[in-house]
Each structure stands twice: as structure tokens, then as C-alpha cells.
């Protein structure tokens, strides 16, 4: 009789331990998913603010398009508006792809592989955005000057001082943003690596 009671008690304890282990694993997955989303939101919020700025810039160009007389500058304005609409979409889609990685529905190895692929894709798209941003900077300057009713040649020290400082500022800012994003991505990768431990 005592042996039978011990078996039953042991069986009940085993079931409780299994249920507790399942609950613990689910809780860990929820916390990890929440932390993961929190880290991705850091990038997402930055990209969202950048999107608003780009759309405001595109609106400004469109509202002042009639002030541009030269056909070439009008083409530059059209390309600028297209870039201001397309670049944020590329960024937001890549952030969303990274954010949509589900920790609870994938195995550990799948999560790491999926995150690695999305991270590389995101970094490539950010580098593409920097390159397109430089191109945008080159074509927007004549557009902005035309909206002001000026030519770039009329602005004193434009090519010798203003333009190089503008390029330097853009490159430093881009480097800082990419460095910040890589820091967040590295912390996220470390957090995901710690799941298995």
C-alpha cells in the first residue's frame, strides 16, 4: 500500500514539475520576445521619425515644384521626391522583417539563423540607403537652390566650403546611425544566444 501511494505521489510530482517546466519555458519565451521587440523598437522608432522627416521633405518639394523653371532641376526634384518616398519604405520593411521573427514558434537554431539572415539583409539595405542618401544629397541641392530662386553658383563658397561640410556632416551622421544600429543588433544577437544557456 505504501509503495503504491509513493508511486502515485511520485507521478503527481512529476506531472507538476513538467507543467511548471512548461510554464517556465513559456514565460522565458514571452520575456525574450518582449525584450527582442523592445530592442527592435529602438531601431523602428528611429526609422519612423526618419520616415516622417522624409515625407515632410517630399511634401515641401512638391508644394514648391512650380518655383522650379529648369527641366533638369525638375527632373532632379522628381527623383528626389521618389527617393524620399522609397527610402523609408525600404527601411521600414527591413525593420518589420526583423521584428516579425517569432521566438516561440521557431527552434533555437532557426531563430539564430533567421535573425542572422535578417540582420545581414538589414545592414545591406542600410548601406544602400546611405549610398542613395549621398546621391539624394547631390541632386537635392540644386532643387533647394532653385526653390529659393538662386543658382548654386550664386552662393558664395558653396563648392569650396558649404558642400564639403555638408558631405562630411552626412557621412559622420550616417556612420553614427549605422554604429548605433549595429550596437543594438549585437545586443539582440547576444540576448538570443543566451536563450540556449
Whether residue 1 is predicted with pLDDT greater than 80 in this model: the reply is no
What are the grid coordinates assigned to 22, written together? 512548461
What are the grid coordinates assigned to 21, written together? 517546466
- 72-97: b (≥16 Cβ within 10 Å) or e: ebeebbbebbebbeebbeebeebbee
Contacts of 197 (CB under 8 A, 6+ apart): none
| DSSP letter (8 states) at residue 64 | T
For 85-131, what is each residue's pLDDT tens digit? 999 998 999 999 888 888 877 788 888 889 999 999 999 999 999 99
Predicted confidence at residue 175, as pLDDT, reads 95
Domains of the chain, residue spans:
2-196
Whether residue 70 is predicted with pLDDT greater than 80 in this model: the reply is yes
Predicted confidence at residue 59, as pLDDT, reads 97
Q: What is the pTM of this model?
A: 0.82
Per-residue pLDDT averaged across 154-164, rounded? 87
Helices (H), 64-162: 71-99, 108-147
Amino acid at each position: 500500500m505504501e509503495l503504491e501511494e509513493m508511486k502515485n505521489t511520485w507521478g503527481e510530482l512529476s506531472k507538476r514539475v513538467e507543467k511548471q517546466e512548461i510554464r517556465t519555458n513559456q514565460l522565458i519565451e514571452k520575456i525574450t520576445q518582449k525584450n527582442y521587440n523592445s530592442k527592435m523598437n529602438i531601431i523602428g522608432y528611429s526609422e519612423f521619425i526618419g520616415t516622417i522627416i522624409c515625407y515632410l521633405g517630399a511634401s515641401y518639394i512638391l508644394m514648391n515644384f512650380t518655383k522650379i523653371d529648369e527641366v533638369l532641376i525638375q527632373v532632379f526634384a522628381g527623383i528626389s521626391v521618389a527617393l524620399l518616398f522609397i527610402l523609408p519604405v525600404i527601411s521600414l520593411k527591413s525593420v518589420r522583417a526583423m521584428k516579425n521573427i517569432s521566438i516561440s514558434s521557431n527552434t533555437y537554431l532557426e531563430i539564430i539563423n533567421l535573425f542572422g539572415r535578417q540582420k545581414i539583409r538589414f545592414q545591406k539595405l542600410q548601406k544602400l540607403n546611405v549610398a542613395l542618401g549621398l546621391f539624394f544629397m547631390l541632386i537635392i541641392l540644386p532643387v533647394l537652390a532653385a526653390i529659393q530662386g538662386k543658382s548654386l553658383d550664386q552662393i558664395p563658397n558653396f563648392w569650396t566650403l558649404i558642400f564639403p561640410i555638408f558631405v562630411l556632416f552626412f557621412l559622420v551622421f550616417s556612420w553614427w546611425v549605422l554604429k548605433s544600429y549595429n550596437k543594438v543588433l549585437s545586443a539582440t544577437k547576444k540576448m538570443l544566444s543566451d536563450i540556449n544557456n
